[in-house]
Amino acid sequence: MNDRDAEARTTADALAEWRKAEQTAAVARRGRLAAQAAASAAEEAAEASKATAEAAKSALNAATLAETSASKTAIAARLVVESTRNDSADAESELAIADIEEAEAHDRYRNALDRAEKRQADG
């Protein structure tokens, strides 16, 4: 092997080493980009999970307030129903009393009319 063959082999070997180093660097760059993308996705996922937790907490608070409001509304409705029933019962009693008073007044009128007709007939 002469100097030229040794130099060619050395140049070829150096070129092969360089190409291999380039490939290794390219793979490492892609790996770095993939790792950066994964880290970025993980940060976004963490932010999203925090926002979801805050939304769930707000929803729970809203549900608790809605339940409290519904309970108060049910109590108020029950009071209105009871009051309305009492008013209805009172109205029924007043109507019955008024009907009795009307019938009694009608009877008094008939009696007075009968007496007046009798006086006129006797007179």
Query: What are the tens digits of pLDDT across the range 30-84?
Result: 999 999 999 999 999 999 999 999 999 999 999 999 999 999 999 999 999 999 9
Handedness of CA 74, 75, 80, 83 (dihedral sign): positive
Dihedral angle at the C-alpha atoms of 19, 23, 24, 28, nearest 10 degrees? 150
C-alpha span between 114 and 120 (Å, rounded): 10
Residue 2 phi, psi (nearest 5): -95, 180
- Which has more pLDDT, 9 or 20? 20
pLDDT at 9: 73
Q: State the alpha helices, DSSP H only, in the chain.
A: 3-122
pLDDT at 102: 94
* pTM (predicted TM-score): 0.49
> How many residues in total does the chain contain?
123
pLDDT at 3: 66
C-alpha span between 45 and 113 (Å, rounded): 98
